[in-house]
Structure 1
Amino acid sequence: MDAAAGARPMCSVCGVRPAVFYRRFSGHRLCSRCMRTSLERGVKRSLRGSNVFRPGVSILVYPSATSPPSSLAFARLVGLVERSYGGRVYTVLPSYFSARQGLNLLKDVVELVEPPPPVERAAGRLEDEVWAPRLLRLERGLASVSAELLGVDAAVLPVSRTVISMAGLEALISSRLHYMWDLDVAEAGGGRPVVLGLRSVEAELIAGYAALESFDATSRVRPKYVYKHVYKALVTDDKPELEFSSSSTISLLARASKISGCKCRACGAPVPCGSKYCEDCHTIWV
């Protein structure tokens, strides 16, 4: 947030309203309206080609433990955008997820439903701290199976470009390249398709919007980053654009490491034919 002394700076985009947020990636100061417009455009870019925005579609927003408040804010954004298409947006709150404030902002555009019992049992087996690449794979599986059991067309995970970059670096440095699949695939899942809904949006933008709209949530489950210091060394305050470069590089590496074969029944990741689940999903679904 930007709290300059004296007169508040004006929005760099519209030039009419006072700025409430400084976006490091572009160097723009944004008012609340232009901030939401920028976010909506980023969400549409993230979901482009996934058939999520089409007349009459039903979507499940599954909250991500990588950013609980942003998950609620993202659900509202998707609900507002989807309303113009005549679609329906649902969200669930697994037992490890607690919404402290902001659910009242969702009620007009998002329907809150109970997680299916099999999903709730699997989610309850998640450890308090999960390595970030593994967590994204497990969340994809939970989202995909939830959407299938609830009878909706697709699921969306509110995972930002920042998280994708950080998880990709974790997988790369750890030489566990099979996790790259989860970070690049546009639409996958063992049940219903799952899309990474913020892959074109940096974490600070959606987090800033969540704070301005007074969304507050916590998660018992937390992502673990072993090499976060490497990411911070790459993406410095004076070079935030390197986050985009890192994300693009990770996508290229992921495409080069594609593995053919059958897919996990939960997350959809490649597995040897004859196996129901990948090694990660097996730990919570079996």
Structure 2
Amino acid sequence: MRVYELRNVSYRYPTGEWALKGINMEVKRGETLAIVGPNGAGKTTLLKIMDALIMPTEGEVLFEGKPIREKTMTDREFRRKVGFLFQSPDVMLFSATVLDDVAFGPIHLWGRREGIERAVGALKLLGIEHLSGRHPYSLSGGEKKKASIAAVLSMDPEVLLLDEPTRDLDLKNRNFVIDMIRGWKAEGKTVVVVTHDLRLIRLADRVYVLDKSLLFEGTPKELFSRPELIERANLDVPEIVRLFHLLEIDEIPMSVEEAADIIKRWKRFNP
């Protein structure tokens, strides 16, 4: 079943510049989808349209088969189902305490008592319940990211829209976020992630390359087989991909372990 269907979606800034032009894409229930592209490609704008924060200038977006309209922005059922993790946690953290921020959404949907319970549960899940009384601006970057994730999880969304979730994080916190997304994927949640992180791209079932219009749609392995597209998307070409192209091995690995298996088989037939 399609969760999202975008039909010829375009968006023009008030300045007259087009951010997106003629986007046709779909997101299937339970899949993890990566959207990649250079800075200024319209990736964040696309997520905002999918979250009903802005409306397209042209075209139509369907969510679960129904058109997204301006009234969708305040629709309780849509807000319960769809969670949006902004690139900057500061956009999501605006209250006096972390607990107030995490409980803000669920309180509006389920009332204060259940909202607080959901917020406390999300903080415990992320191991940051000790931060509940802290002012958000007193937190480290990694703590802010976890608090913003808790604000999303407290709503228990079925669909997660993630804008550069590992950006500006140290290795430990990048690994934490990647493991969290891997867990959502295992639970069957629908995940749409804008990213430059190659490890997140490898988790995806499908990848779209976006530069105002769509340049490519396919699997991560198909993308990594085309270095020119990787560079067009402003991604680092993985060294292991460079190596396989230099060796003229057509099969592209998605991990070091897979690369070792391919090389062993290749050596067997090319002594």
Larger radius of gyration: 2
Shorter-chain TM-score bucket reads 0.3 to 0.5
TM (normalized to structure 2)? 0.33
TM (normalized to structure 1)? 0.32
Query: Which structure carries more strand by proportion?
Result: 2
